[in-house]
């Protein structure tokens, strides 16, 4: 396939996801380009991604937001999709989100529908609190923090750098509301990660750090 036929770039921020990445990359639609952002991995994440045909870039500044921003800047398609590299979300569902990106819509966000064991109670509670805050403060009718999303890249770049760490998804939605974006939600499947332990909900320390990042967003 020639480069000009690509329409969507999938940005996958990763830190130590060598075990899950093969399954994730195999499920990406064949006509989507993939950028894996290696954010300080100590395993074979970069090698596994490159062997699967993904473009690999490295972002030395630690944090989810820093990795996503680096991937978006490196992309050259009008549309960018973002999802985690842990196998919890199915890249095969991305075309449905892309289809919902009608004229006037800037972002389509995946609203996670968790399978058993995919989302612990404290993650569900935190998601409810933060989306309630978005609805109250910004009048943005969201029910999830858009862990999987498709966005028009020029509009996203206009927002500039957002939160460098776990607060990125919340900061994105807050700034999107301020910019007047039209945002749609679409249900997506959310499964237990296929390998390893979540860096956010998998430990008390990770959960505390993520909560601190979220509440730094104003």
Q: What is the pLDDT of residues 4-38, one digit of tens each?
A: 456 999 999 999 999 999 999 999 999 999 999 99
pLDDT at position 218, please?
64
**What CATH number corresponds to the domain at position 177?**
3.90.550.10
pLDDT at position 212, please?
62
Return the H-helix or E-strand segment holding 73. helix 64-74
Nearest CA to 165 out of 37, 59, 65 is that of: 65
Domain with 76, as residue range(s), is 3-215
Dist. CA 109–CA 106, nearest whole Å: 10
Q: What is the pLDDT of residues 127-146, one digit of tens each?
A: 898 999 999 999 999 999 98
Q: What is the pLDDT of residues 76-115, one digit of tens each?
A: 999 999 999 999 999 999 999 999 999 999 999 999 999 9
Radius of gyration of the chain (CA): 16
Q: Three-state DSSP class for 143?
A: coil
Q: What is the pLDDT of residues 165-190, one digit of tens each?
A: 999 999 999 999 999 999 999 999 99
Q: Which residue has the higher pLDDT, 176 or 202?
A: 176
Task: Give the side-chain half-sphere CA count within 13 A for 167.
Answer: 17
Q: Using an 8 Å Cβ cutoff, are 151 and 173 in contact?
A: no
pLDDT at position 207, please?
52
Domain count of the chain?
1
pLDDT at position 215, please?
58
pLDDT at position 203, please?
47
Task: Give the side-chain half-sphere CA count within 13 A for 79.
Answer: 23
Nearest CA to 213 out of 176, 177, 162, 175 is that of: 162
Dist. CA 15–CA 68, nearest whole Å: 12
- % the chain with pLDDT above 70: 87
Q: Using an 8 Å Cβ cutoff, are 13 and 77 in contact?
A: no
> Measured in whole angstroms, how far is the alpha carbon of residue 195 from the centre of its chain?
18
pLDDT at position 2, please?
35
- % the chain with pLDDT above 90: 77
């Amino acid at each position: 396939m020639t480069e000009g036929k690509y329409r969507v770039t999938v940005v996958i921020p990763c830190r130590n996801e060598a075990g899950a990445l093969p399954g994730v990359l195999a499920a990406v639609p064949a006509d989507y380009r993939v950028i894996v952002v290696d954010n300080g991995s100590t395993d074979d994440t970069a090698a596994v991604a490159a062997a699967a045909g993904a473009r690999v870039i490295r972002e030395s500044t630690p944090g989810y937001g820093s990795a996503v921003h680096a991937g978006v800047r490196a992309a050259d398609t009008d549309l960018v999709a973002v999802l985690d590299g842990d196998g919890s979300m199915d890249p095969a569902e991305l075309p449905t989100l892309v289809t919902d990106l009608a004229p006037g819509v800037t972002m389509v966000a995946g609203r996670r529908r968790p399978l058993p064991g995919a989302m612990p109670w404290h993650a569900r509670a935190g998601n409810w609190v933060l989306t309630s805050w978005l609805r109250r403060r910004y009048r943005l009718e969201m029910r999830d923090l858009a862990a999987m999303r498709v966005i028009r890249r020029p509009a996203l770049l206009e927002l500039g750098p957002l939160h460098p760490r776990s607060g990125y998804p919340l900061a994105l939605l807050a700034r999107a509301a301020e910019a007047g974006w039209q945002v749609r939600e679409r249900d997506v499947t959310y499964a237990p990660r296929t390998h390893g332990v979540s860096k956010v909900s998998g430990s008390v320390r990770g959960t505390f750090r993520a909560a601190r990042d979220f509440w730094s967003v104003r």
